[in-house]
Chains A and B, each alone.
Chain A
Amino acid sequence: MILRALYDYYQRDKDSIPFGLQKANISFLIVIENDGTFCSIEDCRQGKKGTDFFVPTGEHNNSISPLLFWDNVQYLLDYTPDYEPLSEVDSKNANKVKTRSEKIQKSHEKHLAFVNRCKSVAEESGEKELLAVSLFYSKNQLQDVYKDKLWTDIKKKPLSWLSFRVKGKLNIVASNTYFSSDDYLSNIKADDNDISGICLITGLNSSIARLCKATPITGAKSSAKLVSFNDNSYCSYGKEQGGNAPISKEAEFAFSSAILKMLDNNSHNKFSIGNRTFLFWASSQTDASKAAEDSLFALFGYKEDSDDPNKRIEFVQRTFLSIYNGSLPSNKDDRFYILGLAPNSARIAVVYWSELPLREFAGTIGRHFEDMEIVDTRKEKKPYSGLHAILGTVTLSGKSSDASPNLPDAIVKSIFQGTPYPVSLYQACIRRIRAEQALNITRAATIKAYLNRLIDNNKKIEIMLDKENQNQGYLCGRLFAVLDKIQEDANGIHSIRERYINSASSTPATVFATIINLSTHHIEKLKPGSQIYYEKLKQEIMSKLPADGFPTHLDLQNQGRFFVGYYHQRQDFFITKDNKE
């Protein structure tokens, strides 16, 4: 299903790269005349990177594999850093001298292979531009190229891509229209050496691709592929490489190009967490589908400092709500696909795959927002319910990339499928609160979301302070917040919270007696009006506790409710303060 969905995406996309081409980032161009005479070297870099051009597809492998009219400086101009003469010391070392000459020999072979390939294709095509390159090589002008003033720049970057331009033409030689023509394409589509078989994506009998294109993701090698059988132990039934999973050349090109497009730097169809990359796309081009893709990108894929993050989150919520309740119309068959990839040296592993009907997907995302919603009295309302925010809040450094590797996958799964959040997230959250004695909005929201999605008999936690909630942990948390506030108003310090929050949340019975005593001293320092107000509040909370007193021990879930109660009560003080002012 995964490859089929990618294949369909490529077919639907109007801007997809035509068969046989790929995007390449060319840094330098060799400018030649129509008859092949060398003119100059042109620098087409923009800043550090080169310019993107559409060139015939190709990949280097370990043996000699020249590309067509575009390549690196070793194939194009027969130069590698090994050509530099050895230092005094090294030239006495016989081994080093031998390896250097071997490498130079190899480089010669590669260059010759490139030249021969260009010449044969140029002859076959009969195109003037391609013949010009062939003439360039037959005139032995490499020394002239080495004398050009930009040559030192090329030498500094031996891995950058180069190509040719005929003087006066706009486009580079590698982008010649011959490479999109039927003559050329029919050659690569049906080679005589090809095996033919049933393609498992299209179901039609066609030439089977031997290798797939590399689609590297962050953290993987640059030759990483989704579909590859690069070792004997991965092959079965005597098949080799592509024979293990017959995919036609067109279908292979389609799904590889789709992945590459989604992995592009400025793509709006991906987001990454740690070393996981998630690609997402919709199954049609309706308004609802496009809105869903854009919203998901806005939600998870944004970079930290973009403009007004809250407007964006609001927009996302409204979009998903309107898809869910039908005001943004979508077909019944519209589906939304999410593919999670992880790197594993030269392979790419699929760690998550889901295809949901679009409306259901919008519904589950909406549920996540609903579950995470909590009272917010901050002055600067930065978004707190995004994936990066949640992960950042459960790590020591505050960075989402430091979270343990399984956590992002599990959270993504629960957000997209509406299942309960992972227990490890909840535990990590409580751990961080205890370690830092700090409870910010994201942590409170995470606890609330986790507890509300559990299926049990406890009352669901509300967004704001809930005066009717009788849960022991919740009440202890509220009481603790009151005592903390009393001390803050009286002395201006928070020593009760700093010293007692950990023990109060796990074993209230041992601690509350002490802090209530302390608080009687604090309350004496307040004005009579405040005294009465706080006393009444304390009474209200303590009246709901059972007669045997404070619970001796709170289990982990109730500890979560303690913290949420603490948070709600504190926020309630700020709200009432605002109302007074």
Chain B
Amino acid sequence: MEYTNKEYCLEVWGAWACFTRPELKVERVSYDVITPSAARAIFESIFWKPAIRWQVTKIEVLNPIKWTTIRRNEVGAVASRAPIFIEEKRQQKNALILQDVRYRISAKLIYRPARERDGETIKEGENPMKYYQTFERRAGHGQCFMQPYLGCREFSANWRLVDANEQKTPAITETRDLGIMLYDMDFEQNPKKPNTMFYHTKMEQGVIIVPDKDSREVLR
């Protein structure tokens, strides 16, 4: 069966966002722009099945990058069977987060053929088209499994599907080298203790081209 993976575009925006840097995640500091990992999560919260995976291809930054600092009471213990008595475990932590973000993220819906999925019985009528149509329907109606979020669950994202032919807001005109950023966690190699994958992010006139997961540019 011949098919090409379709690319979809979403516009997401929110009041706050925090794409936490791994090295400064105790007292949170955000990256300057959305990570491919967070972008993938937004698509997955709209539609995901084991038969597909999302590959982020492009990120466009539509709002200028603004920072703000907030101080929050957080919990300093791991949740488990035993209850956490907050009076003993309360910690006040600082967070340096982004304000008023707006991105246009594009991703390909990649169909995973039967041979990649182990131990699944493949039903009749299985074809990539039905997944494309499901996503288009859901995104068009505004349906999602859970509310998409910008890096941290508490920063909910508003989103809409962007039509390929519509007039698009231009991205900001900033060209900057953003250094090495988190690409994603490598769940395929080791689902329980995944390793981090990094990539070198370059923003040209507000547009970041995200390399493919298996390409050479992704450092792992």
| Distance in angstroms between the alpha carbons of A237 and B193 in the assembled complex | 5
Tell me whether B193 and A198 are in contact (CB under 8 A).
no
Residue in A closest to B192 when the chains form the complex, CB atoms: A238
Tell me whether B27 and A1 are in contact (CB under 8 A).
no
| Distance in angstroms between the alpha carbons of A246 and B182 in the assembled complex | 11
Please give, as numbers and ranges, the residues of chain B lying within 8 Å of A344 by CB-CB distance.
Answer: 27, 92-94
CB contact under 8 A between A227 and B24, given known A200-B180, A203-B180, A353-B29? yes
Binary CB contact string for chain B from 90 to 113 against chain A (1 if under 8 A, 0 otherwise): 001110100000000000000000
The interface residues of chain B, by DSSP majority, are classed as strand
| Distance in angstroms between the alpha carbons of A202 and B195 in the assembled complex | 17
Chain B CB count within 10 A is highest, among A200, A202, A231, A347, for A200
When the two chains form the complex, which single residue of A3, A233, A353 contacts B96, counting CB atoms closer than 8 Å? A353
When the two chains form the complex, which single residue of B78, B93, B220 contacts A198, counting CB atoms closer than 8 Å? B220
| Distance in angstroms between the alpha carbons of A100 and B110 in the assembled complex | 68
Whether a CB of chain A sits under 8 angstroms from the CB of B142 is no
Tell me whether B194 and A4 are in contact (CB under 8 A).
no
CB contact under 8 A between A198 and B219, given known A233-B77, A350-B94? yes
Chain B CB count within 10 A is highest, among A226, A229, A233, A247, for A233
| Distance in angstroms between the alpha carbons of A247 and B24 in the assembled complex | 12
Whether a CB of chain B sits under 8 angstroms from the CB of A97 is no
Tell me whether B23 and A227 are in contact (CB under 8 A).
yes
When the two chains form the complex, which single residue of B76, B96, B192 contacts A350, counting CB atoms closer than 8 Å? B96
Binary CB contact string for chain B from 194 to 207 against chain A (1 if under 8 A, 0 otherwise): 11111010000000
Whether a CB of chain A sits under 8 angstroms from the CB of B67 is yes
Whether a CB of chain A sits under 8 angstroms from the CB of B26 is yes
Binary CB contact string for chain B from 1 to 41 against chain A (1 if under 8 A, 0 otherwise): 00000000000000000000111111101001000000000
| Distance in angstroms between the alpha carbons of A328 and B25 in the assembled complex | 40
How far, in Å, is A412 (CB) from chain B's closest CB? 11
Binary CB contact string for chain A from 340 to 354 against chain B (1 if under 8 A, 0 otherwise): 001010011111111
Whether a CB of chain A sits under 8 angstroms from the CB of B185 is yes
Residue in A closest to B187 when the chains form the complex, CB atoms: A237
Interface size class of B (residues with CB under 8 A): 20 to 34
Whether a CB of chain A sits under 8 angstroms from the CB of B122 is no
Residue in B closest to A232 when the chains form the complex, CB atoms: B78
Whether a CB of chain B sits under 8 angstroms from the CB of A519 is no
Tell me whether B180 and A201 are in contact (CB under 8 A).
yes
Tell me whether A245 and B25 are in contact (CB under 8 A).
yes
Tell me whether A239 and B193 are in contact (CB under 8 A).
yes
Whether a CB of chain A sits under 8 angstroms from the CB of B69 is yes
Tell me whether B23 and A245 are in contact (CB under 8 A).
yes
| Distance in angstroms between the alpha carbons of A3 and B198 in the assembled complex | 15
CB contact under 8 A between A351 and B77, given known A198-B220, A203-B219? no
CB contact under 8 A between A226 and B24, given known A1-B32, A198-B219, A237-B193? yes
Please give, as numbers and ranges, the residues of chain A lying within 8 Å of B192 by CB-CB distance.
Answer: 238
Tell me whether B200 and A349 are in contact (CB under 8 A).
no
Whether a CB of chain A sits under 8 angstroms from the CB of B179 is yes
Q: Which residues, 157 to 199 on B, are CB-close (under 8 Å) to A?
A: 178-180, 182, 185, 192-198
When the two chains form the complex, which single residue of A2, A197, A238 contacts B29, counting CB atoms closer than 8 Å? A2
How far, in Å, is A321 (CB) from chain B's closest CB? 26
A residues in contact (CB < 8 Å) with B: 1-4, 197-198, 200-203, 226-229, 231-234, 237-239, 244-247, 342, 344, 347-354, 409
- Which 9 A/B pairs are nearest by Cβ-Cβ distance? A349-B27, A349-B94, A245-B23, A245-B22, A238-B193, A198-B219, A4-B179, A227-B23, A234-B26
Can you identify 23 A-B contacts, CB atoms within 8 angstroms?
A1-B179, A4-B180, A200-B198, A202-B180, A203-B180, A227-B24, A228-B26, A231-B76, A232-B77, A233-B75, A234-B25, A238-B193, A244-B22, A244-B25, A245-B22, A245-B23, A245-B24, A342-B94, A344-B27, A344-B93, A349-B94, A350-B27, A353-B67
Given A200-B198, A203-B180, 16 further pairs, Cβ under 8 A? A1-B32, A2-B24, A4-B179, A4-B180, A200-B180, A202-B180, A203-B219, A227-B24, A233-B76, A244-B25, A347-B26, A348-B27, A350-B27, A350-B96, A351-B96, A409-B69
